[in-house]
Chain A
Amino acid sequence: MANFETPALREYPIIPLIHAGTMAHSKPYVAKPEHQKPLGFPGTLVDNWESVAVKKLGELVDESRALRVFLDTCVKCGSCTDKCHYYLGTSDPKNMPVARQDLLRSVYRRYYTLSGKLFPKLVGARDMTKDVLDEWYSYFHQCSQCRRCSVFCPYGIDTAEVSMAARDIMDAVGLGQKYSNEIIAKVHSIGNNLGLPEPALRNTLDGLEEDVKDETGVDVKFPLDEKGAEVLLITPSADFFAEPHIDGLIGYAKVFHQAGIRWTMSSHASEAANFSMFIGNHENMHKVAIRIREAALDLGVKRIVVGECGHAWRVAYAFWNTLIGPFDFLDRNYPIPQHICEFTYDLIQRGALTLDKSANDDKIVTYHDSCNVARATRMGSMPGGQFVIPRAVIKAVVNKFHDMEPESIHENTFCCGGGGGLLTDDLMEIRVKGAQPRMQALKHVVDDHGVNYLAAICAICKTQFAKVLPYYQYPMDMIGSVHGLVSKAIQLGTKE
């Protein structure tokens, strides 16, 4: 299948010994000028890039307490070294979170600390050279910004923040990643990651209405740009097109239908994803997100609900209020924004949905906590609601559910391997290897309980698993959407 070996799945997880340089060759395609310019970045590597990079680093440290504290406080205790799925899957020591941070910390020390200026060798400080830049490009694109390391660090040092900063610096000197930047440019010009214009979107949604009608005999609407709707649904554009995502979208539509809530999607803001977070650039993050505020105001909605997408939920939950708030024009009686799982859970609690679990009796289900949902957001009012609510929704629609081992779920969850802007074919090797810890935990529930359905609430996880499951000898259609399960169980025509 490829020119690398898929890591073996074992009886027990092991921590590999280090093998330096095993992933040094991994590099995503470099962004071309036409991908860079729309984001406000130089098209190609600028001449005085060393000084630009160093200056940008200083600015980022000045404007982010997190970055400053993280760069100063690491004691090299080593407790994060075995926590990154990319290290576990590749054994490349530069994929240990602290070593990844050190790629940038070494430069910070050299230019911004007394000890690094005076005794660079002693404290491991390095000049900003081309080799260093190349190493950044390679290893900061082997971090899915999943925050697993942050959970286990005694100071909460979050390597995701460091890799976001490194990518922002690389963009500032003209060395961008094609995959992310091309996508962000598409959102700026068209409104979604897929570059799907309004007519195509409308077409797709009409097609879905017909499909659901054929299948259920019920007129479930997939409204677009409907002024005066109560709810604006913001969902990842993958939900419009890709399998198994689309089953999720059908699920949301059926839930809205049965609850009798008027809802709409927007062609202006037809994307929940915000890849600007991955490249650590807040101007672009704001520019992508503001479309949602504009759409909500324009359509006059009262609530915003967000579809199944991990990093999008982080941006929505944790950043929207800051970036595109205040939301004084929305109904304060509901969380702003609300996750589709919170929305469905609420309806289930109130008995507003008719669900037949036995419709999913062909499935034995486990649930993958997506990193950004698990470690950067919440659902409901209780800390940890992000673990409880999706599982409660699943258990309301299936009879057979088994969790994976505790070390690999909730806040300990392992990344799918494709997050943080790595979901591109030019990074296939790191994606497959990085999925090893998750696949390992999956294997145990497959072997012990016959699990045949891996439910997730993240567009990236779904695409990534569909791609990597076969490398580990599992069928690609084992991955599915939580609302795909809801879609199957919901009994339309019973509550109208």
Chain B
Amino acid sequence: MSALTITYAVLFYVATAVLVGGVAYKVYVYASTPAPLKIPTTPAPTTRLGVMGRMLREVTVFESLFKSNKWIWLFGILFHFALLLVLLQHLRYFTQPVWGWVVLEQPFGIYAGFIMVVGLLGLWARRFLVDRVRYISSLSDHLMLALLVAIAFSGLAMKFVVHTDIISLKQFFLGLLAFQLQPLPADPILLVHLALVATLMIVFPMSKLLHAPGVFFSPTRNQVDNPREHRHVAGWSASINNPGGR
């Protein structure tokens, strides 16, 4: 097996471990950090079911963002939904036979790549054009966008400019899943694309990309507004012991 294949195999095992382990660890930390007080941003739902609805609206239609800023909302939703389609489309490299709905999704996934770029460039443009957003952008914010744009461009290049050996690539990934090394095509654009994706997976759990799991743990959004009806205690507030009463 070539050094290249071994390097990329190791890279993807490491990246997957960091991504899964890192996010799992963060989720564990979020879940186990107490929320001692009730702090939902009101008006808030008064039932669990209502909160699930609120959360669903936040992560599907970006409700708060829509209220806030239509441009960020537009570019944000274009990017995220396109990314979702693209990710689903990529399932075909990991499944044999390819699941039926993934086959049906293929045409959408392919063009979603372009929409993803539009969303990303829109978001990036704001970092230069809007003085307030320029002010709050740090180097890492630009690099993150650069990384995503580079992933999108290298991916689109393989689809529309210089095709890569999809069959061997799929063998490589199916091999990884089965812990059997298969040769990876030594195609420069593919190698760049894969290296960038692995980088993204590795930085995910230590960057602002944590907003993906984090949003579900935000007390201002996920708490039920029922402090009078239900005595809430957690963390330091659980150790409060008030004298008197019955």
Contact = CB atoms under 8 A, between A and B. Distances in A.
A-B interaction? yes
Interface of A: 15, 17-18, 20, 61-66, 68-70, 72-83, 93, 96, 98-99, 102, 113-115, 119, 121-124, 147, 150-158, 161, 282, 286, 290, 293-294, 297, 317-319, 321-329, 335-337, 374-378, 381, 383-384, 386-387, 411
B39 A161 contact: yes
A332 to B, nearest CB: 10
A122 B135 contact: no
A154 B245 contact: no
B242 A293 contact: yes
A63 B62 contact: no
Contacts of B245: 297, 326-329
B237 A322 contact: yes
Given A76-B137, A79-B65, A386-B43, A321 B132 contact: no
A65 B64 contact: no
Nearest to B221: A156
Contacts of A99: 135-136
22 contacts: A20-B135, A64-B35, A66-B219, A66-B220, A73-B208, A76-B141, A76-B208, A79-B65, A124-B138, A152-B67, A156-B64, A156-B218, A156-B220, A161-B39, A282-B37, A319-B227, A321-B231, A322-B232, A323-B240, A335-B228, A374-B42, A383-B42
A82 B132 contact: yes
Interface stretch (B68-76, B152-160, B165-173): B68-76
Contacts of A318: 37-39, 227
Contacts of B135: 18, 20, 93, 96, 99
Interface stretch (B7-15, B26-34, B84-92, B181-189): B26-34
Nearest to B232: A322
B131 A17 contact: yes
Contact of B138 (A17, A62, A76, A323): A76
A333 B199 CA distance: 59
Contacts of B50: 383
Contacts of A294: 244
Given A158-B220, A383-B44, 8 more contacts: A78-B133, A152-B64, A156-B220, A321-B231, A325-B231, A383-B43, A383-B50, A386-B43
A16 to B, nearest CB: 9
Interface stretch (B95-103, B107-115, B209-217): B209-217
B217 to A, nearest CB: 5
A155 B58 CA distance: 8
Contacts, number: 228
A41 B41 CA distance: 30
A169 B143 CA distance: 32
Interface string B137-148: 111110100000
Contact of B43 (A152, A290, A384): A384
Contacts of A124: 138-140
Given A383-B46, A384-B43, A122 B33 contact: no
A155 B210 CA distance: 11
Contacts of A375: 41-42
B41 A156 contact: yes
Contacts of B244: 293-294, 297, 329
Most chain B CB neighbours (cut-off 10 Å) among A74, A325, A335:
A325
A121 B139 CA distance: 8
Most chain A CB neighbours (cut-off 10 Å) among B41, B130, B237:
B41
A83 B68 contact: yes
B113 to A, nearest CB: 22
Nearest to A115: B206
Contact of B228 (A114, A122, A317): A317
A156 B58 CA distance: 10
Contacts of A80: 68
Nearest to B64: A154
Contacts of A150: 41, 220
A77 B42 contact: no
A82 B126 CA distance: 14
A155 B215 contact: yes
B208 A336 contact: no
A70 B39 CA distance: 13
A151 B132 contact: no
A70 to B, nearest CB: 7
Nearest to B203: A115
A122 B227 CA distance: 42
Contacts of A335: 228
Given A75-B208, A322-B240, A378 B233 contact: no
Contacts of B139: 121-124
B211 to A, nearest CB: 4
B45 interface: yes
A79 to B, nearest CB: 4
A27 B223 CA distance: 35
Given A79-B65, A153-B64, A386-B43, A115 B231 contact: no
Contact of A155 (B44, B132, B211, B246): B211
Complex A-B, nearest 9 residue pairs according to Cβ-Cβ distance, in ascending order: A73-B214, A156-B220, A152-B68, A78-B133, A383-B43, A124-B138, A81-B132, A156-B221, A79-B68
Nearest to A150: B41
A154 B132 contact: no
B16 interface: no
A209 B115 CA distance: 71
A418 B62 CA distance: 31
Nearest to A72: B210
B68 A376 contact: no
Nearest to A66: B219
Nearest to A160: B39
B235 A322 contact: no
A147 B41 contact: yes
A85 to B, nearest CB: 15
Contacts of A378: 42-44, 46, 225
B236 interface: yes
Given A76-B141, A99-B135, A383-B43, A68 B33 contact: yes
